[in-house]
A and B are shown apart, each in its own frame.
Chain A
Amino acid sequence: MSRMPEDVIEVKNLDITFKLATGNVHAIRGVDFHLMKNEVLALVGESGCGKSISVKTIMGILPENAVINSGEILYHGKDGTVDLLSKKFSWRQKNINGSKISMIFQDPMTSLNPTMTIGAQLITAIRSHEEVSKKEAYARSIELLREVGITEPERTMGQYPHQLSGGMRQRIVIAIALSCNPEVLICDEPTTALDVTIQNRILELIQKIREIRGISVIFITHNLGVVAKIADYVGVMYAGKIIEYGTVFDIFYDPRHPYTWGLLSAIPEISDEKGELYSIPGTPPNLAHEIVGDAFAPRNPYALAIDFKAEPPLYKLSPTHYVASWLADERAPKVEMPKELKARIERMKQEGVDYVGEK
C-alpha cells in the first residue's frame, strides 16, 4: 500500500511465527497497513486471525516465543521517523509506549490494579512519564476523569476498581491511556465485554476524544456494527493477512472479497425475517500447517482453480480500496456478490440517504 503523507504508523510486511512445543505457528503472514492522522482504523476478523498480535507488535508486548521474521513498523512522530522494531523494548517503554502510543484492552478489570485507588493509578501513570509534582498530577487526573465523562471525579479518585461498574472502569482505563497525551490510541476489543448501551457510550467517548485531541485510533473488534459506527478505514483480516482494506464506505457498500461478503451476511438484521442465519461454512485454517494458495479458498464457494495453487496479490481497486483476491484479477471470471447481500447493501444505501435527508 502506498504511503500517505499524513501517516502516523506504517506497518510493512510484518511476518511473525510462534514457536510451540508442537511446531511453528505462522500467525502473521505479511501484514501491511497504515494509520493516518486523526483517523480511526478498524481491524476486523475472526478470533485467531492475528488482529491482536499485529497491534501487540506495535507495542512490543508479544509473548516470548514469538519470532518476528521480517517487517518494519515505522512511527512518524513529531521528532522524525523511527522503526520501532529496530529499537530495544526498554527504549520503547521509555519513549513511545504510553507517551506516544497508548493501548487499552478488552477487560478493564485485568488492566487496573485492584489494590490501588483510581487516583493513585492515574497519578503513577502521569508521574512515570513526566516529572511533575504530585499536586499537579492530581489536578491533571481530575481533569482527565472529567474528560472521560466521570461526573464526580474527586470521589472516584479515592475509589478502588471493584467499586466501579464495567463501563466506568473502561472509562478509567481510557483516562490512564490518555494521561500522557499520546498521538495514537490502540483499542483491543474495548467494548466486547460491555452491554450495548454502555458500549454505545464508550464508542461515543472515543469518537469525542479523537475529535477534540486530534489523535489517531486503531480499533480492534469482531463486531461489524461497531466498525460501522466508529471507523474511517477498515482492514479485514483472515489467517494472518489483511485481505481487504478500504474506507468504511468501500467495505460496507462495495465489498469485494468473498470473506468480507460472508462476514457482512452473517450479521442478523434487526428488521430481518426469521429465516436461517447465514454463516461462513467451515473453520479458519490451522496456521501450524503451511498454507498453499489463498487461505480462504477451502471455505470459499467462489474459489477459482488458482486459489488453491497461488496466493493472490493485493489488487488496488481505487486509491483507498485494496483487495487480496484472484477475483479482482482482470483475467478472472466476473463474479457478483450473493444476491441477498446485494439487496441488503441497496437497502443500507437507501436507509443512509433517508437518514441524512431526515437530519
Chain B
Amino acid sequence: MSEKSKREKKVLLSVDDLCMYFDAKGRRVKASEHISFEIREGETYGLVGESGSGKSTIGKCIIGLNKATSGSITFCGEELTGIKSRKEYNEKLKDIQMIFQDPMSSLNPKKQVGEIVREALVIQKIGKSKEEQDKIVSEILKKVGIPVEYKNRYPKDFSGGQRQRIGIARALVVNPKLIIADECIAALDASVQAQIVNMLRKIKEETGTSFLFISHDLTMVRYLSDKIGVLHLGYLLEEGEPEELFENPVHPYTRGLLAAIPRMNPVILSENNAVYDYGNSGIDYALGDWHEVSKTHRVRCTDAEFERWTENKAEIKSAEKSEMKPEMKTEMKTEKKSVKDKLDASKRVRKEQK
C-alpha cells in the first residue's frame, strides 16, 4: 500500500490521551497513561507488551467494559466517552465486536454453536425471519471453516482451534467495522495459531474489517498488523509500521523485547545484552513525549533520550556493553561457552556417524 493511499483512508477509531486508573484500597493503579493512537479503515493495529502493561485495559475501555478516567475515544467520528447510559453505548457499539482469549469460557456451553452465532443477529435485529438468520449463520460458519452440519453441536464437542473459529464467526456475523482480538491465539498450538492467523488475514482482505490485535507474541503481531504499538507499564512507548519497528527499533524496551524472541536456531541464543530493566534504565516514561522517527514511526521519550537513541546505533550498543553489570557479563560468558559446547558436541556426533 502506498504512503498516499494510506493517508487518504478514513480514521475509524481514534484514542486520544486515554488514561485509565483503578482505585484499590486507597492505592491508585495506573493501568493506562496518556495513550493515543488511531486505527484507519481496513487497517490492523497490533498492540504488544508484557502482561500487566495495559493492553487488555485499552481494549476494554474501547468496548466500554472499563470506564476511562480521562481522555477520549472516538469511533466513526462519534465520541464514545462521556456516554452515560449503557443502552446508548450499546447502540454505538454495534460496529465493534470482540474475540476473547479463552474460547471455552467465552462460548455458552449450554447452547448449540449455531444458536450462539445466531444470538448476535437476534440482538442486533439483523434478518427478518429465523430462516434468513440461519442462512447468514451457515454462510459465516463456512467462511471460518466450520462444517455447517456441526451447527447443532455444543462447544464441548469442538477443539480449541475450532472454538476460536466459532468465536470469530460470532464476531463477524454482524458485519462489524472493528474487531478487537484480545490474545485470541495465545491459548492455541503453533500449528493451529498459524491456521487462525491465516484465516484472520483472509477475512481482513475480503471484508475490509479493521482489527485491534492485542497480543504478546511479536512474530504473530508482525504477521497481521499494518501498524504496531509497543506498550509498557501503561505507556505507549513506540509505534510504527512492522518493518520499521522490527528493523529499526528506537526505544530500549522495544529493542529488548525484540531480542528476547526465541530464535528457531539451536546455535543462536537470544542476545543477553538487551536485558531491559526499567528501574535501572534511568528512563522516566512520564517525562517523555512523542518524537517522530519517520512519518509513520514515532517514539515516546525526552528530547535528550531521542537524540541519544537515534544519534548513532553503534555507539549505543558499545555504551550498553560497558554499562553492563558484572553478573550479566559472566552470564554472557557461560552462554558463549554453551554455544561452543553445543557445536563441539554436534561435531563429535557427526564424527561418530562417519
State whether the Cβ of A252 lies closer than 8 Å to any Cβ in chain B: yes
Partner-contacting stretch, out of B27-35, B81-89, B146-154, B333-341:
B333-341
B262 touching A229, Cβ below 8 Å: yes
Residue of chain B at shortest CB distance from A279: B194
State whether the Cβ of A82 lies closer than 8 Å to any Cβ in chain B: no
State whether the Cβ of B263 lies closer than 8 Å to any Cβ in chain A: yes
- Name the contact of A277 in the complex, choosing from B52, B198, B334 (C-beta under 8 A): B198
How many Å lie between the Cα of A196 and that of B160 in the bound state?
Answer: 23
B144 to chain A, nearest CB (A): 15
- Which residues does chain A contribute within 8 Å of B270, judged by CB atoms? 200, 229
State whether the Cβ of B314 lies closer than 8 Å to any Cβ in chain A: no
B265 touching A351, Cβ below 8 Å: yes
Q: Is the interface of B mostly helix, strand, loop or mixed?
A: helix
How many Å lie between the Cα of A267 and that of B263 in the bound state?
Answer: 10
State whether the Cβ of A107 lies closer than 8 Å to any Cβ in chain B: no
State whether the Cβ of A7 lies closer than 8 Å to any Cβ in chain B: no
- Which residues does chain B contribute within 8 Å of A80, judged by CB atoms? none
A277 touching B194, Cβ below 8 Å: yes
Given contacts A276-B198, A352-B268, A359-B339, contact A196 B262 (CB under 8 A): yes
Given contacts A196-B260, A201-B275, A204-B331, contact A263 B191 (CB under 8 A): yes
For chain B, give the interface size range. 35 or more
B266 touching A248, Cβ below 8 Å: yes
How many Å lie between the Cα of A232 and that of B349 in the bound state?
Answer: 12
- Which residues, 256 to 290 on A, are CB-close (under 8 Å) to B? 262-264, 266-270, 272, 274, 276-280, 283
Given contacts A228-B262, A228-B265, contact A166 B51 (CB under 8 A): yes
- Which residues does chain B contribute within 8 Å of A222, judged by CB atoms? 189-190
State whether the Cβ of B267 lies closer than 8 Å to any Cβ in chain A: yes
How many Å lie between the Cα of A228 and that of B342 in the bound state?
Answer: 11
- Which residues does chain A contribute within 8 Å of B266, judged by CB atoms? 228-229, 231, 248-249, 252-253, 352
State whether the Cβ of B203 lies closer than 8 Å to any Cβ in chain A: no
State whether the Cβ of B264 lies closer than 8 Å to any Cβ in chain A: yes
- Which residues does chain B contribute within 8 Å of A57, judged by CB atoms? none
How many Å lie between the Cα of A200 and that of B263 in the bound state?
Answer: 11
How many Å lie between the Cα of A195 and that of B215 in the bound state?
Answer: 10
A106 to chain B, nearest CB (A): 12
- Which residues does chain A contribute within 8 Å of B201, judged by CB atoms? 276
A66 to chain B, nearest CB (A): 21
How many Å lie between the Cα of A198 and that of B260 in the bound state?
Answer: 9
B269 touching A229, Cβ below 8 Å: yes
A252 touching B264, Cβ below 8 Å: yes
Give 1 or 0 for each of B178-202: 1 = CB within 8 Å of chain A CB: 0000000000011111110110010
A262 touching B191, Cβ below 8 Å: yes
- Name the contact of B263 in the complex, choosing from A195, A199, A228, A277 (C-beta under 8 A): A228
A274 to chain B, nearest CB (A): 7
B191 touching A270, Cβ below 8 Å: no
- Which residues does chain B contribute within 8 Å of A197, judged by CB atoms? 50, 256-257, 260, 275-276
State whether the Cβ of B353 lies closer than 8 Å to any Cβ in chain A: yes
State whether the Cβ of A17 lies closer than 8 Å to any Cβ in chain B: no
Give 1 or 0 for each of A276-307: 1 = CB within 8 Å of chain B CB: 11111001000000000000000000000000
How many Å lie between the Cα of A196 and that of B276 in the bound state?
Answer: 12
Residue of chain B at shortest CB distance from A203: B262
State whether the Cβ of B76 lies closer than 8 Å to any Cβ in chain A: no
B339 touching A356, Cβ below 8 Å: yes
Give 1 or 0 for each of B243-261: 1 = CB within 8 Å of chain A CB: 0001000000000111011
Residue of chain A at shortest CB distance from B224: A274
B260 to chain A, nearest CB (A): 4
- Which residues does chain B contribute within 8 Å of A278, judged by CB atoms? 194
State whether the Cβ of B272 lies closer than 8 Å to any Cβ in chain A: yes
State whether the Cβ of A124 lies closer than 8 Å to any Cβ in chain B: no
- Which residues does chain A contribute within 8 Å of B197, judged by CB atoms? 277
- Name the contact of B191 in the complex, choosing from A196, A207, A226, A279 (C-beta under 8 A): A279
B348 to chain A, nearest CB (A): 10
State whether the Cβ of B346 lies closer than 8 Å to any Cβ in chain A: yes
B264 touching A228, Cβ below 8 Å: yes
Give 1 or 0 for each of A152-188: 1 = CB within 8 Å of chain B CB: 0000000000000110000000000000000000000
- Which residues, 69 to 88 on A, are CB-close (under 8 Å) to B? none
State whether the Cβ of A117 lies closer than 8 Å to any Cβ in chain B: no
Give 1 or 0 for each of A224-252: 1 = CB within 8 Å of chain B CB: 11101101100000000000000111001
Given contacts A228-B266, A270-B219, 10 further A-B contacts (CB under 8 A): A197-B260, A198-B50, A200-B260, A211-B338, A224-B264, A232-B342, A247-B345, A266-B193, A352-B265, A355-B268
Query: Would you list the 5 A-B pairs with minimal beta carbon distance, nearest first?
Result: A225-B262, A352-B267, A195-B50, A279-B194, A277-B194
Could you pull out 13 A-B pairs where Cβ atoms are within 8 angstroms? Answer: A197-B276, A203-B262, A247-B346, A249-B342, A264-B264, A266-B191, A266-B193, A267-B219, A279-B191, A279-B194, A279-B195, A356-B267, A356-B340
